[in-house]
Structure 1
Amino acid sequence: MALPPPRASGSTRVVWRPVHRDSDVTPALRIASEWSWRFIVVVAGIALLAYGLSKVSEVLIPVLIAALVAALLGPMVTFAHGRGVPRPVAATVVLLGAIAAVAALITLVGQQVADGFAQLSDQAVEGVAEVERWLADGPLELSNQAVSGYVAQAQDALVANRSTIVSGALGFAVTAGHVVAGFFIALFTAFFFLLDGRRIWSWCLHLLPQAAQEPVDAGARASWLTLIHYMRATIVVALVDGIGVAIGAAILQVPLALPLGVVVFLGAFVPIVGALLAGTVAVLVAFVAHGPVTALLMLGVVILVQQIEGHVLQPFLMGHAVAVHPLAVILAVAAGATLVGVVGALFAVPLVAMANTLVSTIASDGDAPEEVREIERSDAPLAPDKPAPTPVSGEDGSGRDGGAQHGSDRGDGAAAEEGKR
């Protein structure tokens, strides 16, 4: 920083003003400072957005679940509508059919659990006695008094924490009420996504500046195709995992084989770690029912199923369209579970896959990745249609909605014709 020379003699006042020289700041420091404040603004915006979303999580989570359901069932609705079935009828039948299938599965599993619970409880008592004998006669060589002391301490701990257990049960009841409310929110949201998904997206797209609509539209449609492909592959992988564990449990005569398969099926929706963690339930049941040898065999079945998933099913079904590096999957699942819990672990990978496709498409001026274009070509009758074109300015609200609806119908017909060709 330099100071200007004083005024000439005879002047009544001398003012000293500092002179800033950009040359005093190195280019590297200037660039770093510019990136730093922009990064701080972006992080602050993301944090503010996350805080706002956390306040409406009871609505946001059902909406996200509805999006997954729409991605899974939407191609079937579009397929039926392209063959002459009215879209409201197609959406209603497909959604009710999915609900009926889930209800039948829950009923079957409930009957299996009710029938096998008495036997499993008796085996659990025998398993606890066997563990006590192993602690006394095994490598630890604990005395009977020590084992009895540990059991007494566990019982005392349960008695001392009765209030905590009761409050936890009450909290579970409140959570169950939220789950029921969230179920109906997700149900109705999924129905309207299936019925008017293109009109909803068209309305959202029109909120953006005209110049941004085309690339964002291309990126969003490519991301939606990625989500559709991801949900299909995940369903197949989860079915194989669940059936494999159920068959292994049945061969080893482990009780509750079908419910254990359903637990693994649900756990497989969290990639890499979900099915493995759910498989530990089967190992524990095998240990309680038949001892450590059967438990080790059950563990081998779970590991074998995981190897088939990781080295055969995932690469073949997922392909490059939703390929996310295993390290990114683990980090995304861990971050989601840490921030939001089980829900975060469930949505982490599909959100990362969609974000990857969205950014890649927008960065390439609206050109979707080649892998996504291959999905769009192969699934032409099932692919989501483009939203209706932007209405001419000056139209009223009814004309805008009507144009969107007619555009949707034309898009369905075009998709059907392309599928026939």
Structure 2
Amino acid sequence: MARGRGTVEPSDDLGIPWGMRVAAGWSWRLLAVFAVAAVVIYLVAVFEQIVVPLLVALLISALLTPTVIALAKRGWPRWLAIVVALVAFTAVVAALVVLIVWQVRAGLPQLERESVAAYDRARDILSDPPWNVSDKQFASWIASAGALAQKDSGVLIGGAVKVGSTVGHVLAGALIALFATIFMLIDGRGIWNWIVRLFPRAARSAVSAAGDSGWFTLTRFVRVQIVVAVVNAIGIGAVAFFLGLPLAVPIGVVVLFASFIPVIGAIVSGVIAVLIALVYAGPVQAIIMLAGVLLVHLLEAHVLQPLLVGGAVKVHPLAVVIGVAAGTGIAGVPGALFAVPLIATVNAMVTTIAAGKWRIQEIEPDEAPR
């Protein structure tokens, strides 16, 4: 019944106003949703040594699946396309790691000399007026800064340490990720069909359509994020190289990997580049490095994000920032890495279900994977 000006809201037999009953209904539903989310987070934390490698395998599969499909359409046997894609991916990652190790080993003597020189310059500047800092005070500041950095970095690396606290855990996680990736590339559709059949028959069409939409969004996100990471790495690495900074190539590679954590990763890696320029080159070079980092981030924020990431993820930037921050607080580096793809995928799936535009179909046990 419509309620106009001056009318009294209806109430039940106990005299509870209509607005209170609506608020109570929403409240217990929200509490149920939060309870389910808390249980899911708890289970992920308990089984993180399995969940994290599976999520890594899911991202790698989303990256390699278009390549496998393209090679299969050219007449390649599917097994050969999968092997070629995996070998190429492994070779690229291994080459980047070897490049970092080689550059660090080659530049370590120069880095040690410049580190000592930078320490002496800072101590001499602070010992002169108007600072008049004694050597004892300077040493205590250095010790305090190291302790603070170690304390703050514990939040970021805590998740990584939990995932691989020992070499055995790292190897086990790598093997799980490898085998999961292989099986997802071989029979990903069959695995998803099996998951869909766990739902009630009336909900299978919606779940199947939501899965297709989520997978499409995930594959687009991974490919677009690689483009963004490469642009960030080339831009910041080039500025560091032209400034003559030590370890310019490793800086670019670190920016490349860090950029897979949207927003925060690129900012943190850019700050590291500016600090290296300040310590080993001087304030002028640090200002130039800062300008280069800001220019790259402006390019990402006003060109790459709206044109590429915005179309692939379709999530508001504020949600991205909050999701990355929440993921970092909950699970450290893995949480920051998986936060945005998880938000984007879930958003696509929920939007598909809410739209109600899926095709009514039943998934039979003998249906062949697509």
Q: Give the TM-score normalised by structure 1.
A: 0.77
Q: Quote the offset at 1:39 in angstroms.
A: 2.3
Post-superposition Cα deviations, 1:65-123, rounded to whole Å, max 9, x if no partner, equal 11110111111111112222222221122111100111112112211110001101110
Residue in structure 2 matched with residue 276 of structure 1 by the alignment: 267
Structure number with bigger Rg: 1
d(CA) in 2 for partners of 1:85, 1:105: 28
2:132 to 132, 139, 142: 142
CA deviation after TM superposition for structure 1 residue 23, in Å: 5.1
The counterpart of 2:23, out of the listed 21, 32, 49, is 32
Query: Which one of the candidate residues 286, 291, 312 is aligned to 2:282?
Result: 291
- Among all aligned residue pairs of Structure 1 and Structure 2, give the percentage whose two residues are the same amino acid: 41
Deviates more, 1:248-257 or 1:36-45: 36-45
Match of 2:313 among 302, 316, 322: 322
Matched, 1:63 2:51: no
Do 1:215 and 1:362's aligned partners in 2 also have CA atoms closer than 8 Å?
Answer: yes
Q: 1:116 aligns with which of 104, 107, 120?
A: 107
> What is the distance in 2 between the residues matched to 1:306 and 1:360?
30
What residue number does 1:419 align with? Answer: none
State the Cα deviation string for residues 194-220 of structure 1 (Å, max 9, x = none): 111011001111111121111111111
| Match in the other structure for 1:165 | none
Q: Shift of the alpha carbon at 1:158?
A: 8.3
Q: Where in structure 2 are there 5+ consecutive unaligned residues?
A: 1-11, 148-156
Alignment of 1:130 with 2:121, yes or no, is yes
Quickly say closer, same or farther: Cα 1:156–1:104, change in 2 above 3 A: closer
* Aligned-partner Cα distance in 1 for 2:306–2:177: 31
Q: Structure 2: how far apart are the matches of 1:234 and 1:153? A: 39
**Cα distance in structure 2, aligned partners of 1:253 and 1:186:** 39
CA distance in 2, matches of 1:136, 1:197: 65
Maintained 8 Å contact 2:229/2:257: yes
Scaled by the length of structure 2, the TM-score of the pair is 0.87
What is the one-letter code of the residue matched to 1:358? Answer: M
Structure 1 residues 100 and 389 mapped into 2: Cα distance closer, same or farther (>3 Å)? farther
**Letter aligned with residue 142 of structure 1:** N
The within-5 A match list for 1:80-95 is 80-95=71-86
| Structure 1 unaligned regions, length at least 5 | 1-20, 160-167, 369-387, 392-399, 412-421
Higher relative contact order (CA 8 A, sep 6+): 2
- After the TM superposition, which residues 3-402 of structure 1 pair with which residues of structure 2 at under 5 Å, given as runs? 22=13, 24-137=15-128, 140-143=130-133, 146-151=134-139, 154=142, 174-367=165-358, 390-391=363-364, 400=365
Cα offset for 1:318? 2.2
Query: Per the alignment, do residues 327 and 149 of structure 1 end up closer, same or farther by CA in structure 2, a change over 3 Å counting?
Result: same
Shift of 1:323: 2.3
SS at match of 1:122: helix
**Matched-pair contact (CA < 8 Å) for 2:118–2:279:** yes
Deviation at 1:305, TM superposition (A): 0.7
Shift of 1:174: 3.1
SS of residue paired to 1:390? coil
Shift of 1:320: 2.9
Structure 1 counterpart SS, 2:311: coil
Distance verdict in 2 for CA 1:153–1:361, change over 3 Å? closer
Taking a change above 3 Å as real, the CA distance of residues 359 and 90 of structure 1, as seen in their structure-2 partners, is: same
- Supply the distance in 1 between the matched residues of 2:144 and 2:354 (Cα, whole angstroms): 62
Aligned residues: 346
C-alpha separation in 2, matches of 1:105 and 1:317: 25
Is the CA contact 1:334–1:345 (under 8 Å) kept in the aligned structure 2?
A: yes
Contact 1:214 1:366 in 2 (8 A): no
SS state at 1:22 partner: coil
Could you tell me how far apart the structure 2 residues matched to 1:179 and 1:283 are?
32
| Native 8 Å contact 2:251 2:273 kept in 1 | yes
Deviations 1:309-361 (A, max 9, x none): 11111112224341221111111111111111111111111111111111111
Indicate if the aligned counterparts of 1:127 and 1:287 stay in contact, CA closer than 8 A.
no
| Cα separation, 2, equivalents of 1:152 and 1:51 | 41
Maintained 8 Å contact 1:272/1:310: no
Kindly provide the CA deviation profile for residues 38-73 of structure 1, in whole angstroms up to 9, marking residues without a partner as x. 222222222122212210011101101111101111
Distance 1:319 1:93 in 2: 31
1:329 and 1:153, CA in 2 relative to 1: closer, same or farther beyond 3 A? Answer: closer
